[in-house]
Amino acid sequence: MSKKLWGGRFSKATDKTVEAYTESISFDSRLIEHDIRGSIAHAKMLGKCGIIPEADAKKIVSGLGFILDDYLAGKIVFDPSAEDVHMNVEKLLFEKIGEPAGKLHTARSRNDQVCTDIRLFLKAEITRILGLTENLQTAIIEQAEANANVILPGYTHLQHAQPVLLGHHLMAYFWMLERDKGRMLDCMNRLDVLALGSGALAGTTFPIDRQFVADDLGFASISENSMDSVADRDFVAEFLAAAAIIMVHLSRWAEEIIIWNTSEFKFIDLDDSVTTGSSIMPQKKNPDVAELVRGKSARVIGDLMTLLTLQKGLPLAYNRDLQEDKEPLFDAVDTVQMSLDVFALMLATAKFNAARMHASAGEAYSTATDLADHLVRAGVPFRTAHSEVGLLVAYCVDNNKEFSDLTIQEIKRFAPEAADTVASELTVEASVAARSAVGGTALSEVRRQIEKAKQVLGDG
């Protein structure tokens, strides 16, 4: 005779191999606080609506409170034969309060319970992610301000393109992260819906009060369709998409830091506290944090793929496949949170090599566009100016010269319309200062965006 809570129609015990294969308590125990919160709201509602006696509802609520206390005190040992967190809690409740525990699962199914748990879990974890993202954004602003006048090469194709301020470069990531937060908030608003009350799939025969449960749990609204509620994990996929995009942002930034940290670039010096050594090469100080951020982005992208693939062939409504949503979700939550946290630390403690960046910014004809723009202001059509400057660059390459080595006569040989004072417009400082249109790299514009960024964070 089976001892399972659902064991009535079974004449044989579950095979141990099957039990081990189907259990989820080894990972979904992580949802226990949300599960208990949901059960407390449900029990209160059952009592209030007269679906179970008020006295039993009270016993259930206080018993669940004790289980939570026990859990937080590390006193609970979960039972894999009770399958998942929902059944484990019910079993523990029976041990605490006896027979009234059996009334908790009235007008409810694990199917509407589990997606309620995940929604509560995600609301809490997204809030944490938003806070960690803001910490990183604060570190960006601090470094952008501390290095306000540092000029480095801006790249396209990883080739010198035009000089930019380091603050401008860093602030680019601020705005990416701001959109990442927007995606997380969108996700949070869309998942802020009560699923409980949907039953196994078709709703319930009992006169439940879903609004009461939604209010108690802090959900903004109630789901409209019981089958949709228990079947769909689009909100998990949406969260993972937003999480994967955060990781991709961090990963490309990590790649940049790894390049900047090479002895070829020497643009950045990472603090000893965020780097690691080599077991064989005594001289090494490796940017492992940045490499692991880049590496861990693969996991989160994989987590998203898992959720999409998991759902693509599922008929309505609930299918046990959906139990496989949790590990990728937990993995992504942990990975994104740790990555944001460690990245903020790495950035806040980094030292930028202003002299090296400045020297590099002036190389490789990075102010060629400024010369072309100068000629345009003298009336030359841009395409002609482009071609004149191109020929001048070819001359420099052939003669192993930088722009700063040129005499005005050499410049005028290729660009006769150039003013005698043009050299002063071809410094990296002049190049940066000239880009003062909104969103450009001029110091005034970088200062403006930093002010705007501070407002954005303040409003949040």
From 219, 318, 343, 403, residue interacting with ligand ARG (rule: CB under 6 A): 318
- Asked if the bond preceding 317 is cis, omega within 30° of 0, the reply is yes
Query: What is the Cα–Cα distance from 83 to 29, expressed in whole angstroms?
Result: 10
Site for ligand ARG in 28-67 (CB under 6 A): 28
Query: What is the Cα–Cα distance from 187 to 240, expressed in whole angstroms?
Result: 10
Q: Name the 3-class secondary structure at 205.
A: coil
Site for ligand ARG in 356-415 (CB under 6 A): none
For ligand ARG, the closer of residues 24 and 204 by Cβ is 24
- Catalytic residue numbers read 157, 278
- Minimum distance, C-beta of residue 111 to ligand ARG, in the bound complex (Å): 5
Residue 352 in tokens: 């930028």
- Minimum distance, C-beta of residue 334 to ligand ARG, in the bound complex (Å): 18
- Minimum distance, C-beta of residue 93 to ligand ARG, in the bound complex (Å): 17
From 323, 339, 367, 449, residue interacting with ligand ARG (rule: CB under 6 A): 323
Identity at 58, one-letter amino acid code: K
For ligand ARG, the closer of residues 314 and 443 by Cβ is 314
DSSP 267-311: -EE--GGG-B--SS-TT--B-HHHHHHHHHHHHHHHHHHHHHHHH
From 1, 73, 320, 379, residue interacting with ligand ARG (rule: CB under 6 A): 320
For ligand ARG, the closer of residues 78 and 253 by Cβ is 78
431 binds ligand ARG (CB under 6 A): no
For ligand ARG, the closer of residues 291 and 327 by Cβ is 327
Burial of 335 (0-12, 13-18, 19+ CB in 10 A): buried
Query: What is the Cα–Cα distance from 233 to 75, expressed in whole angstroms?
Result: 32
**Count of residues that bind ligand ARG according to CB under 6 A:** 10
9 binds ligand ARG (CB under 6 A): no
For ligand ARG, the closer of residues 150 and 322 by Cβ is 322
For ligand ARG, the closer of residues 81 and 441 by Cβ is 81
- Minimum distance, C-beta of residue 237 to ligand ARG, in the bound complex (Å): 15
From 322, 342, 368, 422, residue interacting with ligand ARG (rule: CB under 6 A): 322
89 binds ligand ARG (CB under 6 A): no
Query: What is the Cα–Cα distance from 180 to 189, expressed in whole angstroms?
Result: 14
- Minimum distance, C-beta of residue 72 to ligand ARG, in the bound complex (Å): 22
- Minimum distance, C-beta of residue 217 to ligand ARG, in the bound complex (Å): 18
- Minimum distance, C-beta of residue 321 to ligand ARG, in the bound complex (Å): 8
84 binds ligand ARG (CB under 6 A): yes
Q: Name the 3-class secondary structure at 6.
A: coil
Q: Are 194 and 222 in contact (CB under 8 A)?
A: yes
Q: Are 362 and 428 in contact (CB under 8 A)?
A: yes
Closest alpha carbon to 188 in 243, 248, 259, 256: 243
223 binds ligand ARG (CB under 6 A): no
Q: Name the 3-class secondary structure at 91.
A: helix
Site for ligand ARG in 104-133 (CB under 6 A): 110-111, 114
Residue 162: enclosing H or E segment and its boundaries?
Answer: strand 159-165
Closest alpha carbon to 269 in 377, 212, 351: 351
Burial of 153 (0-12, 13-18, 19+ CB in 10 A): buried
Positions touching ligand ARG (CB under 6 A) are 24, 28, 84, 110-111, 114, 318, 320, 322-323
